[in-house]
Structure 1
């Protein structure tokens, strides 16, 4: 089953170029594995875009093919660029798009309980979609019954409790197909900033928590 984080390096370069226009001496914040975006390709793309210095976590102070002089692990008084670079500020193009595969579709009647504890019950006959992403992948459980995802370009509610490996979406009259994508946040979907509000955490913390079994796909 597919669990993917699409990383748009062109959007990342665009965000950096805009920031560099106002401050050519800024430092990119790439701690926490570039906040879940993947340290190696993100640092390489940043240096290629004209960023001179990148702040990394101490455990990542040596990167293959990256000159050591470009990496720093200590605070600086220079501008530290974070959410804006990754498109997590609510204004810049998003760099990460998080996608899970729909692995089951079920038609149910009214008052059907959903997921553990039945914290959600259907109000009318509807279609439920089971998505192969869960809290083990870094989807915060606080998103249960609060956030929405995009299926077929439609924003639809995430319902019931998020489980370790999966969650459920109430699709109403829309009937998806097994194998379709459910987009949690990113391009053409709810923003990471919205998900941050639903899960009571900064967007950088949200993307940094995306687990290692979610494949990063760069373009």
Structure 2
């Protein structure tokens, strides 16, 4: 993206998220290739589309992932799972989070696999299935050491026995066993070996109870590309599906393409003299005459205020530093002595073309992870889905 003035067709919004669905398809295919075994086999691929597709738009991303061969989709909440079905997805979907008293019936009747972490949760699912006169598909999650969701190993024998009894009653079918890694982005961390060992023990206990699940899965994005021993029957790939590195510094070039670009239209350009101070608190003062550009997006759009005086954007063909405090609605960039005008395009982060900033770089600037950068953006930002393979464009409100 160059610094020339954007036409109304190029940037129809004040500020927007642009998601390239072709990049999603590319990344899913690439990740399938990276997890192939030498004989051409390999695990099934689950593309995780929770949190509105990590900020990319759940339903369009899900469609693109399916087109690229995703076998399963994964979501966190029951309402996300229902929204996928209502968005016309008909493939296998796993949902893994609920609280006591939540309504399982809408998910069960839409043929969604749900998760159970405890005897009480399994009982709630079974009761919902009985009331519908159907069989619920359930996957059991064991806590192998993340100490977050999942059944503790000490309680696992009781859960798998109860699950087998529920199967015999006909209201439940156990379709999967799974867990989640704590340190997969650090390949040398001893927790990886230990969690894998605990998972194998849990699988054996389930087998001893008479369960025969379709899939066993442990690997997230980082483990999918770094730890083949954790692949089992399926890998759950989230952030890497969106073109972002799940383990910066450990993976090398994975051949992924960031799918999200956040851009805005310069609202104003002004020349200031040396000594002019910028934004709240006057945290930056111009040491010499310079040109400032006003970018109409701020922390209400999910941009981190901690990027004040630290972050960079791409404008007028080069990186431009943020000057002063990033505000709720806007921030200021330094254009130096280069020519720019109101109406020009500013790329806040994107694919990294020509040295432009990426979500990973914004994450490093504010000491967080790329996951947080892409999932937090939104607010008043419009979202546009494009397809660089077909030149198609869709506004979110048209979908």
User: TM-score scaled to structure 1, two decimals?
Assistant: 0.94
Residue 48 of structure 1 is matched in structure 2 by 67
1:153 positional shift: 2.2
Match of 1:176 among 340, 343, 354: 340
Q: 3-state SS of the aligned residue for 2:267?
A: strand
1:212 positional shift: 3.8
User: TM-score scaled to structure 2, two decimals?
Assistant: 0.53
Match of 1:143 among 304, 307, 331: 307
Q: Does 1:215 align with 2:382?
A: yes
- Higher-Rg member (1/2): 2
Match of 1:61 among 61, 66, 81: 81
Q: Does 1:132 align with 2:288?
A: no
Query: Structure 1: which 5+ residue stretches go unaligned?
Result: none
State the alpha-carbon separation in 1 of the partners of residues 339 and 52 from structure 2: 37
Q: Does 1:112 align with 2:276?
A: yes
Superposition RMSD in Å: 1.5
1:132 positional shift: 0.5
Alignment of 1:16-165 (within 5 A): 16-23=28-35, 24-58=43-77, 59-62=79-82, 63=84, 64-67=87-90, 69-74=91-96, 76=178, 77=218, 78-89=234-245, 91=253, 92-165=256-329
Instruction: Confirm or deny: 8 A CA contact 2:22 2:64 kept in the other structure.
Output: no
Instruction: Confirm or deny: 8 A CA contact 2:54 2:239 kept in the other structure.
Output: no
Query: Structure 2: which 5+ residue stretches go unaligned?
Result: 1-12, 36-42, 97-140, 142-177, 179-217, 219-233, 387-399
Q: Does 1:191 align with 2:210?
A: no
State the alpha-carbon separation in 2 of the partners of residues 86 and 191 from structure 1: 12
Highest relative contact order (Cα 8 Å, sep 6+), 1 or 2? 1
1:37 positional shift: 0.2
Instruction: Confirm or deny: 8 A CA contact 2:350 2:358 kept in the other structure.
Output: yes
1:143 positional shift: 0.7
State the alpha-carbon separation in 2 of the partners of residues 149 and 180 from structure 1: 13
Instruction: Confirm or deny: 8 A CA contact 2:315 2:345 kept in the other structure.
Output: yes
